[in-house]
């Protein structure tokens, strides 16, 4: 038999590298299997909320200054606008600044932290998981055994698919997931706003956004109702053209699935756990997932550490740690259905009336606060 690792983590995004960092710091023998060589591109708006910044600071001091020093911060955002197709619904001053980051560099930083703490990273793709034998088979033909297996392999998770065949866990991309599309536009192409803009009412059960970077503007859209790629692309193109882009049909548009309410209350089975997007843990209103990847990554690591002598109990322990997060996912999903899920005319009328009253509280909830720091 090959060497037995304490934990094999499949996927080295924010969820996997956070779990790897926490476990390695506790002295565990950790292997991170990541299919892409870092730094690697990740389709994302790169928006960090206050709770994500709190989390970063709780885990490594000097987090914000490191982001700035390494050129990871693209912009610090002090205000935001919420628009319908043709009018401004609300303009708010952010109660706490949002930070826009370059995801390629951001994920690389976290991976470096995990490696510095002692985690081994191997560039290889997991192609098979034997849950019974607790082993992972890779594209390079290797087999790795782990006391624990952590699926941190994103929204199309192979580990989640393997669990779905054995348990009641839903496979990835089930009904609550959304199709998301993004394009990166040269900022000089159009006179873009310098604050993030959210567009409501273009799609049901979703929204569109435009985030300012240093050189490029990220314009994107997601919907759990419109999962037809062509249809969603057409809506995004219309938005780009309304923004005044000369030839939006030449924009390179990329698509990815977003969990958006696809979470599992019991994300795993015995000693095989799911974290981040693989567990469906992206927030179901705006699709924020970076914080939830970090938070669930660290909670899964804590569950693993506490269950070193009883691995089969780790999923139950992890699910208890996730109670608060799952509760907030449920509330946001309900809120989304009552707002973004409504037909366009109803949504616009009610949001125009409600937003001035609820936007500050909503922002406060979205910004959140990270309270439980990993032990
Ligand atoms: C268009 C779009 C915009 C978004 N914008 C924002 C935003 O502005 N702010 C925000 O907070 N969130 C945003 N999100 C959500 C956020 O990107 C995700 O929630 C977050 O990346 C989840 O982190 P993760 O570590 O779980 O997964 P990922 O970041 O997807 O990392 C998974 C890793 O696993 C690797 N992998 C996959 N399969 C295998 C395999 N078989 N073997 C080995 N490795 C594998 C991948 O290469 C990848 O590195 C956005 C998402 C989309 C689609």
Q: Say if residues 45 and 220 touch (Cβ distance below 8 Å).
A: yes
Residue minimizing CA distance to atom 2 of ligand 1: 44
* pLDDT at position 36 over 60: yes
Looking at the CA of residue 138, tell me the nearest atom of ligand 1.
Answer: 42
Alpha carbon separation from 330 to 143, 225, 300, 364 (Å, rounded): 38, 18, 20, 18
Q: How far apart are CA 96 and CA 26, in angstroms?
A: 33
Q: What spacing in Å lies between the alpha carbon of 117 and ligand 1's midpoint?
A: 22
What percent of the chain is modeled with pLDDT above 70? 98
Closest-lying ligand 1 atom to the alpha carbon of residue 290 = 11
Residue with tokens 């038999």, as numbered in its chain: 1
What whole-number distance in Å separates Cα of residue 106 and Cα of residue 267? 26
Q: Average pLDDT of the chain?
A: 93
Question: Residue 101 C-alpha to ligand 1 middle, in angstroms?
Answer: 14
> First-to-last CA distance in the chain?
33
User: Which residue, 235, 258, 281, sits at the end of a domain?
Assistant: 258
Same domain for 106 and 251, yes or no, is no
Query: What's the token pair of residue 268?
Result: 């795993």
> What would the pLDDT profile of 146-200 be if each residue is shown by its tens digit?
999 999 999 999 999 999 999 999 999 888 899 999 999 988 888 888 899 999 9
What is the pLDDT at residue 253?
94
Predicted pLDDT at 351: 83
Long-range contacts of 349-354 (CB under 8 A, 24+ apart): 351/82, 351/84, 351/89, 351/200, 351/201, 352/84, 352/89
Query: Residue 291 — very low, low, confident or very high, per pLDDT cuts 50/70/90?
Result: very high
Atom in ligand 1 nearest the alpha carbon of residue 100: 8
Closest CA to 32 of 142, 111, 133: 111
Query: Would you say 75 and 218 are in contact if contact means Cβ atoms under 8 Å apart?
Result: no
Atom of ligand 1 nearest to the CA of 257: 53
The yes-or-no verdict on residue 373 having pLDDT over 70 is no
**Same domain? 252 vs 186:** yes
* Cβ-based neighbour number of residue 273 at 10 Å: 33
> What's the 2 CA to ligand 1 centre distance in angstroms?
30
Among 233, 258, 283, which residue terminates a domain?
A: 258
- Domain-located, residue 213: yes
Q: Is pLDDT at 370 greater than 90 in this prediction?
A: no
Note the pLDDT of residue 4.
Answer: 94
Q: Give the residue among 129, 120, 123 at the shortest CA–CA distance from 29.
A: 120
**Which ligand 1 atom is at minimum distance from the Cα of 275?**
26
Q: Please choose from 11, 42, 52, 155 the residue to mutate so as to test ligand 1's pocket, defined by most ligand atoms within 8 A of CB.
A: 11
Lookup: tokens for 368? 């959140």
What is the H or E stretch that residue 365 is in? helix 344-367
**Is 206's pLDDT higher than 90?**
yes
Query: What was the pLDDT predicted at 343?
Result: 87
Q: Are residues 9 and 147 in the same domain?
A: yes
| Domain-located, residue 137 | yes
pLDDT attached to residue 245: 84
Q: Is residue 364 part of a domain?
A: no
- Whether 111 and 153 share a structural domain: yes
Is 273 inside any structural domain? yes
Residue 85: the pLDDT is 80
Q: Which protein residue's CA is at the shortest distance from atom 29 of ligand 1?
A: 13
pLDDT over 80 (residue 371): no
Secondary structure string (H, E, C) spanning 37-57: CCCCCCCCCCEECHHHHHHHH
Distance 263 CA to ligand 1 centre (A): 15
Among 8, 13, 136, which residue has the most ligand 1 atoms within 8 Å of its CB, making it the best to mutate?
13
Looking at the fold, whether 197 and 304 belong to one and the same domain comes out as no
Answer yes or no: are the C-beta atoms of 85 and 119 closer than 8 Å: no
Atom of ligand 1 nearest to the CA of 181: 1
In this structure, the residues whose C-beta lies within 6 A of any atom of ligand 1 are: 10-16, 33-36, 42-47, 125-126, 152-154, 158, 180, 182, 220, 256, 258, 276-278, 282, 287-291, 293
Are 38 and 108 contained in the same domain? yes
Q: What angle do CA 87, 99, 359 make, to 5 degrees?
A: 40
Look at ligand 1, atom 39, and give the residue with the nearest C-alpha.
153
Q: Residue 160 and residue 182: Cα distance in Å, rounded?
A: 25
Q: Which of 35, 44, 104 to mutate to test the pocket of ligand 1 (most atoms within 8 A of CB)?
A: 44
CA of 26 to the centre of ligand 1 (A): 25
Please state, in angstroms and as integers, the Cα–Cα distance from residue 162 to each residue in 9, 272, 274, 352, following that order. 15, 10, 11, 45
Do 182 and 330 fall into the same domain? no
Q: How confident is the model at residue 1 (pLDDT cuts 50, 70, 90)?
A: low
Query: DSSP 3-state assignment of 354?
Result: helix
**Is residue 11 domain-shared with residue 117, that is, in the same domain?**
yes
Q: How many structural domains are present in the chain?
A: 2
Which CA distances in Å does 118 have to 17, 20, 113?
Answer: 11, 9, 9
Let me know if residue 153 belongs to a domain.
Answer: yes
Q: 155, 292 in Cβ contact below 8 A?
A: no
CA nearest to 258, candidates 278, 232, 236, 273: 278
Specify the residue with its C-alpha closest to ligand 1, atom 18. Answer: 289
Cα 277 to middle of ligand 1, angstroms? 6
Q: Which domain holds residue 10?
A: 4-46+102-174+260-338
pLDDT single digits (tens) 77-134: 999 999 988 889 999 999 999 999 999 999 999 999 999 999 999 999 999 999 999 9
Coil, strand or helix at 146: strand
pLDDT value at residue 2: 74
Q: How confident is the model at residue 3 (pLDDT cuts 50, 70, 90)?
A: confident
CATH number for 311 = 3.50.50.60
- Those residues with Cβ within 8 angstroms of residue 139's Cβ, 6 or more apart along the chain or in another chain: 35, 124, 125, 126, 127
Q: Are residues 29 and 113 in the same domain?
A: yes
Q: How far is the CA of 124 from the centre of ligand 1 (A)?
A: 17
39-67 average pLDDT score: 95
Q: Looking at ligand 1, which residue's alpha carbon is closest to its atom 35?
A: 11
- Do 166 and 107 belong to one domain? yes
The H-assigned helical ranges of 180-245 are 229-242
Same domain (yes/no): 330, 202: no
On whether residue 191 sits in a domain, the answer given is yes
Question: Of 258, 274, 304, which residue is a domain's last?
Answer: 258
Is residue 356 situated within a structural domain?
Answer: no
Q: Which pLDDT value is given to residue 372?
A: 67
Q: Average pLDDT of 222-230?
A: 93
CATH assignment at residue 244? 3.30.9.10
User: Are 254 and 265 contained in the same domain?
Assistant: no
Please indicate, yes or no, if residue 304 is contained in any of the structural domains.
yes
CA of 153 to the centre of ligand 1 (A): 8
């Amino acid at each position: 038999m090959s060497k037995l690792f304490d934990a094999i983590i499949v996927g080295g995004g924010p969820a996997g590298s956070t779990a790897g960092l926490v476990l390695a710091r506790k002295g565990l023998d950790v292997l991170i299997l990541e299919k892409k060589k870092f730094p690697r591109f990740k389709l994302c708006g790169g928006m960090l909320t206050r709770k994500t910044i709190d989390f970063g600071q709780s885990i490594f001091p000097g987090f914000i200054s490191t982001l700035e020093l390494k050129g990871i911060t693209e912009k610090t955002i002090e205000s935001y606008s919420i628009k319908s197709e043709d009018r401004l619904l609300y303009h708010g001053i952010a109660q706490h600044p949002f930070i826009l980051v370059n995801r390629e560099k951001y994920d690389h930083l976290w991976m470096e932290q995990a490696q510095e703490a002692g985690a081994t990273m191997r560039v290889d793709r997991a192609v098979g998981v034997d849950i019974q034998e607790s082993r992972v088979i890779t594209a390079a033909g290797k087999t790795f055994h782990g006391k624990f297996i952590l699926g941190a392999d994103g929204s199309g998770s192979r580990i989640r698919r393997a669990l779905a065949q054995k348990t009641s866990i839903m496979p990835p991309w089930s009904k609550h997931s959304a199709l998301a599309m993004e394009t990166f536009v040269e900022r000089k192409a159009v006179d873009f706003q310098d604050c993030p803009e959210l567009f409501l009412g273009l799609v049901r059960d979703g929204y569109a956004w435009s985030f300012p970077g240093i050189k490029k503007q990220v314009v994107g859209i997601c919907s759990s109702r419109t999962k037809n790629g062509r249809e969603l692309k057409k809506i995004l193109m219309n938005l780009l053209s309304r923004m005044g882009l000369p030839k939006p049909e030449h924009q390179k548009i990329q698509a990815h699935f977003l969990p958006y309410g696809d979470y599992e209350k019991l994300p795993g089975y015995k000693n095989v756990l799911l974290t981040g997007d693989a567990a469906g843990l992206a927030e179901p209103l705006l699709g924020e997932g970076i914080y939830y990847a970090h938070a669930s990554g660290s909670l899964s690591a804590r569950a693993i550490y506490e269950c070193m002598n009883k691995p089969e109990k780790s999923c139950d322990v992890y699910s208890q740690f996730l109670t608060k997060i799952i509760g907030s996912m449920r509330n946001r999903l309900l809120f989304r259905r009552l707002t973004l899920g409504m037909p366009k005319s109803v949504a616009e009328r009610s949001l125009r009336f409600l937003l001035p009253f609820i936007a500050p509280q909503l922002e406060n909830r979205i910004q959140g606060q990270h309270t439980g720091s990993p032990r």
